[in-house]
Amino acid sequence: MNLSQKLHSILELDIYSKNMGFNQTCLVLAKDILLDERVRMHCQVNLCGNYHNNLMCPPFLPSLSEIRLLIKRYNFALLLQLQPSITSKNKEETLEIFSKTAIQLNEMLISLERKAFASGFPLALALGAGECKLCEDCIVKHGKTQCPKPGSSRPSMEGMGIDVLQTCKSAGLAMHFKEGELTLAGLLLID
Ligand code: SF4
């Protein structure tokens, strides 16, 4: 595929993602994805409880230096956001909406990754939001390290050490975490 065909196919993927229902999308250069050691440190502090408890979270993911090399092998990326409306002020209900939206986001990203594969980008890679929620209990908690759902489980952007807020901000995409507003972001890396 020459550059002009490639750009055409990527713009088609962008349109496709909008039609899928993403609220915001933005095509960026892969070199503008910001990695930050402090994000990985936040994983290690383990406020979310998923460090060492989910195969799609650290320490089961590559090191930041390996991820830097990996991202360097891509040229472009689509930043994709879902912004569910939060009608309740109840914390538990808000967390439930977050979880459901994260699952929806990851499903949409996997579909987009497959679409990218069919469009001539066999190495396209989707990164979602939050820990993998495909199993009630991640298999790693039972001492196993081989994910039974490799076709649909993907690491999150933050788990890969990406500064999601700054990357979105630099691309001109807002992240809302105010009362009544929520933003979840994902990424499709394209070679
Ligand atoms: S699919 Fe299941 S086993 Fe694989 S990472 Fe997700 S939760 Fe863990």
Whether 135 lines ligand 1, by a CB cut-off of 6 Å, is yes
Q: Which structure tokens are listed for 15?
A: 């349109």
Expressed in angstroms and rounded, the spacing between residue 139 Cα and the centre of ligand 1 is 6
Expressed in angstroms and rounded, the spacing between residue 141 Cα and the centre of ligand 1 is 10
Task: Give the ligand 1 atom nearest the CA of 147.
Answer: 4
| Amino acid (one-letter) located at 117 | F
Question: Is the separation of the CB atoms in 119 and 9 below 8 Å?
Answer: yes
pLDDT at residue 93, as a whole number = 85
Expressed in angstroms and rounded, the spacing between residue 7 Cα and the centre of ligand 1 is 34
Helices (H) and strands (E) in the chain, counts: 5, 4
Task: Give the ligand 1 atom nearest the CA of 55.
Answer: 5
Task: Give the ligand 1 atom nearest the CA of 137.
Answer: 7
Expressed in angstroms and rounded, the spacing between residue 132 Cα and the centre of ligand 1 is 6
Domain region containing 19: 3-190
pLDDT at residue 140, as a whole number = 96
pLDDT tens per residue, range 81-103:
999 988 777 888 888 888 999 99
What domain count does the chain have?
1
pLDDT at residue 175, as a whole number = 85
Chain center to CA of 129: 5
Closest CA to ligand 1's atom 2: 135
Question: Is the separation of the CB atoms in 20 and 111 below 8 Å?
Answer: yes
pLDDT tens per residue, range 150-168:
999 999 999 999 999 999 9
Helix (H, G, I), strand (E, B) or coil at 105: helix
Whether 139 lines ligand 1, by a CB cut-off of 6 Å, is yes
Whether 28 lines ligand 1, by a CB cut-off of 6 Å, is no
**Does pLDDT of 78 surpass 90?**
yes
Q: Which structure tokens are listed for 154?
A: 């993907």
pLDDT tens per residue, range 103-150:
999 999 999 999 999 999 999 999 999 999 999 999 999 999 999 999
Whether 103 lines ligand 1, by a CB cut-off of 6 Å, is no
Neighbouring-strand partners of residue 15: none
Q: Looking at the chain, how many residues does it have?
A: 191
Percent of the chain predicted with pLDDT > 90: 87
| Amino acid (one-letter) located at 33 | I
Beginning with the edge strand found earlier in the chain, give each strand of the sheet holding 184-190 in spatial order. Answer: 24-29, 76-82, 184-190, 125-127
Helix (H, G, I), strand (E, B) or coil at 37: helix
C-alpha to C-alpha distance for 181 and 69, rounded to whole angstroms: 35
Question: Is the separation of the CB atoms in 103 and 133 below 8 Å?
Answer: yes
